[in-house]
Chain A
Amino acid sequence: MFEETLDLYNAEVRRHARHPAHAALPPGATAEARGDNPMCGDRITVAIRAEAGRVAQAGFQARGCDIMVASADLMCEAVPGQDAAAIRTLANEVEALARTGACPECDGALATMKPLSAIHDYPSRLRCVTLPWTALLAALEEPHHV
């Protein structure tokens, strides 16, 4: 049973959901922001530590579903080394990936998010993937983000 859900709940997603590597706010964080999904009660705080205009480390604290936690954890793997402009572009690409499943130039940081590409077939769960990114973009709006 549930073979048909393994496209989304694949081993990679489940590993990041159940054993996230970045589920703590980084010491010396330079910016943080919260994201809420009032429809389901999911909540996340994303924090970043910037060095020389680029994200050196990202982390999160979350209360939510497996998909949201996996997305947050994968995001925190994807963004180190990126500047704010690159992260904004990446966030748009992640949203497109989540909406369509398509990943025409799926390399670099975007490839990190690929385990969640099946979310396009679960439209009511889209926000679970994008919520951490929304919080990250909000953190980038803070004055000393990077």
Chain B
Amino acid sequence: MNAISKTVFDVERIRAQFPILGETIRGKPFVFLDSAASAQKPRAVIDAMVHAMETQYANVHRGLHWMSERTTDAYESTRDAIARLMNAPSREEIVFGKNATEMFNLVAHSYGRALMKPGQAVVISAMEHHANLVPWQMLRDSHGIELRVAPISDTGELDMAGLEALLQDGRVGLVAITHMSNVLGTVNPAARIAALAHAHGALALFDGSQAMVHRQVDVQAIDADFYIWTGHKLYGPSGIGIMYAKRAILEAMPPFLGGGDMIGSVSFERSSWAEVPHKFEAGTPMILEAIGLKAAIEWVEAIGMDAIAAHEAAITEHAIARLSAIPGLRLLGAAQERGSVFSFTLEGAHAHDVATLLDRQGIAVRAGNHCAEPLMRRLGVDSSARASAGIYTTLDEIDTLADTLDRVRTFFG
């Protein structure tokens, strides 16, 4: 137990709710520092999903029977929980898909192809995850949309003047930028970005996959047109992605995937579409995942996003202090506004070798290009290791990481 975390909340009490954190890895305590890839699940989420399967499960939206109606209620109530969490004006502006990546593809296909015109441009930034890059490249190649990349500074912050310059010609239809970098930890000024986009006639889309976990996100305060994130990083199950979009935009967009559940009526000649958001949710949805995600949201809300943010700020301060004191260790990114994601290189040791040695000590980090290959090139590194913290991370775990890295350095030295 450490002093700083204790002042925010009792981390040990939080940890006790995550069964997996009691596991040992080859006889060593499990030090999980890979939450930015996917977070572990608290008992409340596990129980909610098991409970649904044991007592309350049928397909949704279509059964005229008690079990289907109850399951539909449980599934749909997740939309209410998400609308509340993001401060969305209405539940109908919350669309479900299988993950965040699918939601970017939904926007690229539906908004990009139907409502953007060849010759218009999409602006992303140099710090995007491939999920917010590749769909726009595909749109560029299939639909004649230009793809522009806003530069970042050497500290890993978005170059706002550079972004503004890209908007000057008025041809940009969409600005799609991460709210928080999965590599640098940089938190981008979403409200300023949205205002800038709107001032130049563009819509603003944010990748909130990391940011949703670390802070209170208010889509109305940001004035986001689209805000995309994923359930499995917010202590919910994998298999559910979330998109908030303004109702007028959703109504103007054609469907993405066709099939059951997204239609009004169907004949062999033609079909009509269901109302938003169901128009974008073809087929049997992720019923259990939605139920699990609602449990995760309620669990997170009970702790409080402010407390979570304060805990992670303490972790971040400690991690930066400890890691930057290791000779030969280079932290990637030094943004003023940042979350608890720490990518680094270690002189004389390849990231994969570092990750393997850490793994054999029970410490789980990620190594590679973190699905952000262009950013790696911008930073001038081939690959890096990344430690990332969650609600259950302790200062002791950061110390274990730093002490072990110091020995890794000696091992390869």
Contacts and interface: CB of A to CB of B under 8 A. Distances in A.
A112 to B, nearest CB: 21
Nearest to B408: A2
A65 B361 contact: no
A144 interface: no
A66 B350 contact: yes
Most buried by B among A2, A8, A9, A128: A2
Interface string A1-21: 110110011000000000000
Interface in B393-413: 404, 407-408, 411-412
Contact of A125 (B351, B352, B361, B369): B352
A65 B411 contact: no
A9 B357 CA distance: 9
Contacts of A8: 356
A40 B368 contact: yes
Given A1-B404, A4-B26, A65 B368 contact: no
Contacts of A2: 357, 360-361, 407-408, 411
A125 B350 contact: no
Interface in A38-91: 38-43, 63-67
A67 B352 contact: yes
A39 B368 contact: yes
Contact of B382 (A1, A4, A63, A67): A63
Interface in B349-401: 350-353, 356-357, 360-361, 367-369, 373, 376, 382-383
A64 B357 contact: no
B352 A4 contact: no
Most buried by B among A8, A41, A128: A41
Interface in A88-131: 122, 125, 128
Contacts of A67: 352-353
A2 B360 CA distance: 7
A125 B356 contact: yes
Contacts of A43: 382
A64 B350 contact: yes
Contact of B376 (A1, A4, A41, A65): A41
Given A1-B361, A2-B407, A40 B383 contact: yes
Contacts of B350: 64-66
B369 A41 contact: yes
A39 B351 CA distance: 12
Contacts of A40: 351-352, 367-369, 383
A105 to B, nearest CB: 29
B347 to A, nearest CB: 14
Contact of A5 (B351, B360, B367, B376): B360
A122 B367 CA distance: 14
Contacts of A63: 382
Nearest to A63: B382
A128 B351 CA distance: 13
Given A2-B407, A39-B368, A41-B369, A128 B357 contact: no
A45 B357 CA distance: 27
A4 B408 CA distance: 13
B352 A128 contact: yes
Contacts of A4: 26, 360
A67 B349 CA distance: 11
B404 to A, nearest CB: 7
Contact of B353 (A1, A39, A41, A65): A65
A50 B155 CA distance: 49
A8 B383 CA distance: 21
A38 B373 CA distance: 9
A5 B382 contact: no
A41 B373 contact: yes
A9 B408 CA distance: 12
A63 B352 CA distance: 12
A1 B360 CA distance: 10
Nearest to A64: B350
A131 to B, nearest CB: 12
B357 A41 contact: no
B19 to A, nearest CB: 24
Nearest to B404: A1
Nearest to B26: A4
A64 B361 CA distance: 22
A90 B112 CA distance: 50
A67 B368 CA distance: 15
A8 B361 CA distance: 15
A66 B360 CA distance: 16
Interface of B: 26, 350-353, 356-357, 360-361, 367-369, 373, 376, 382-383, 404, 407-408, 411-412
Given A2-B357, A9-B357, 9 more contacts: A4-B360, A5-B357, A5-B360, A8-B356, A9-B353, A9-B411, A38-B369, A41-B383, A64-B350
- Ranked nearest first, the 8 interchain pairs of A and B with the lowest CB-CB distance are A65-B350, A41-B383, A65-B352, A41-B382, A40-B368, A5-B360, A66-B353, A1-B407
16 contacts: A1-B404, A1-B407, A2-B407, A5-B357, A8-B356, A9-B357, A9-B411, A38-B373, A40-B383, A41-B368, A42-B352, A64-B350, A65-B353, A67-B352, A125-B352, A125-B356
